[in-house]
Amino acid sequence: MKATLSAVVLSLTLALPALATEKEVAGVKFPDTTTVEGKTLKLNGAGLRKKFVFKVYAAGLYLESPTQDAAQVISSDQTKVVRMSMLRDLEKGKITEAITDGVEKNNKAQMPALKARLDTFNAAIPDLKKGDELTITYVPGKGTRVASKSGQEMSVEGKDFADALFGVWLGSNPVDGDLKNGMLGKED
């Protein structure tokens, strides 16, 4: 009985991402929870976006129901947040190009239905300076909101759009595989 209980506890522990504490990535602290419209979301994981040898941004993924399954994160109709903290200055054009490329790589067949909303979303992305944050929040029934201190805040309708956008980081062709693993709580 004792061995069975120990095995169950161990398997449950291994099945969940490392959650219960604040995480620091490249000097950026991600608290263990955040609140969106009265719901408490848990830090699923965080990681570092690198391009070549350059550190671009640290990103944390917050979910109502944490999981290490990327497909489940994308397809679930739960409130979810990606919080990105810039580690270098980035021009709007570079950011929107990367987002568009990520959406296209993971959603070729859906692009005609996504294009106009992606353009609307990209219009709200500002130039970002080192230390600035960009927050992307999906709320079921309300849409996907982008917010930053220097840009306009706006929302785009449709769960299909949220799925495509979260696929930039968590899809089968993520922008950065190590970042995907970090956001899923699978880092080393």
Cβ neighbours of residue 112 under 8 Å, at least 6 residues apart?
A: none
Does some domain include residue 9?
Answer: no
Cβ neighbours of residue 27 under 8 Å, at least 6 residues apart?
A: 58
Give the total residue count for the chain. 188
The stretch 151-172 carries a mean pLDDT of 94
Cβ proximity of 30 and 46 under 8 Å: yes
Task: Return the closest-CA partner of residue 103 out of 29, 179, 173.
Answer: 173
Does some domain include residue 10?
Answer: no
Cβ proximity of 103 and 155 under 8 Å: no
* 3-state SS class at 115: helix
Task: Return the closest-CA partner of residue 77 out of 166, 176, 168.
Answer: 166
Per-residue model confidence as pLDDT tens digits over 4-42: 444 444 444 444 444 447 899 999 999 999 999 999 999
Does some domain include residue 3?
Answer: no
Q: How many domains does the chain have?
A: 1
Does some domain include residue 21?
Answer: yes
Residue with the two structure tokens 């506890």: 9
Cβ proximity of 130 and 150 under 8 Å: no
Per-residue model confidence as pLDDT tens digits over 91-116: 999 999 999 999 999 999 999 999 99
Does some domain include residue 127?
Answer: yes
**pTM score:** 0.87
Which residue range(s) make up the domain with 138?
16-183
For residue 29, what is the domain's CATH number? 3.50.70.10
Does some domain include residue 59?
Answer: yes
How sure is the predictor about 2, in pLDDT bands with cuts at 50, 70 and 90?
low
- For residue 9, is it left (φ>0), alpha (ψ between -120 and 50) or beta? alpha
Does some domain include residue 131?
Answer: yes
- pLDDT given at position 187: 73
How sure is the predictor about 1, in pLDDT bands with cuts at 50, 70 and 90?
low
Does some domain include residue 138?
Answer: yes
- pLDDT given at position 188: 54
